[in-house]
Structure 1
C-alpha cells in the first residue's frame, strides 16, 4: 500500500515545501500563487525573495533557524 504524498512539508531549519497549487500570503497581505510543482516558502524571515525561500537560512546561525 502506497502512502499519499503530503501537500505541505516543513524542512527542519529550512523552508516549507508546498506541492501543487496554493496561494501564499506575504507580510503585506498580497497573495502569490505557486507556479512550480514544488514551491519553497521562507520560514526564517530573511529571504530577499519573500515569500519564497532563497536559501538564506543556510547562512544564518542554526539557533536562529525555524
Structure 2
C-alpha cells in the first residue's frame, strides 16, 4: 500500500470498500486509487480531483500580468 499525503491511497486489488451508508464498492483491478479527499465524482475511487486545476488555458506567465 502507498499513501500520498496530497492524494489517494493506492492499494493492490481486488478491493471491496464498505461505504458509510452500507453500500459495498468493488474493484477487480490490479491496483486501485482510493479517494481520501472526498472531492472525487467517482468516490470512493480517485479521479484526481485533489489536484489543483487551472480555469483557463493561458500559460502561467500570461496569467500573472
Q: Tell me the TM-score normalized by structure 1.
A: 0.68
CA RMSD across the alignment: 1.6
**Unaligned runs of at least 5 residues, structure 2:** 54-65
Q: 1:11 and 2:41 equivalent?
A: no
Secondary structure at the counterpart of residue 17 of structure 1: strand
Please state how far the C-alpha of 1:58 moved relative to its aligned partner.
0.4
* Greater length-normalized contact order (CA 8 Å, ≥ 6 residues apart): 1
Please state how far the C-alpha of 1:21 moved relative to its aligned partner.
1.7
Corresponding residue number in structure 1 for 2:37: 44
Q: Tell me the TM-score normalized by structure 2.
A: 0.69
**Unaligned runs of at least 5 residues, structure 1:** 1-7, 61-66
Secondary structure at the counterpart of residue 18 of structure 1: strand
Q: 1:26 and 2:19 equivalent?
A: yes
What are the Cα deviations for residues 19-60 of structure 1, in whole angstroms up to 9, with x where unaligned? 022211223221112221001110001111100001000028
Secondary structure at the counterpart of residue 50 of structure 2: helix
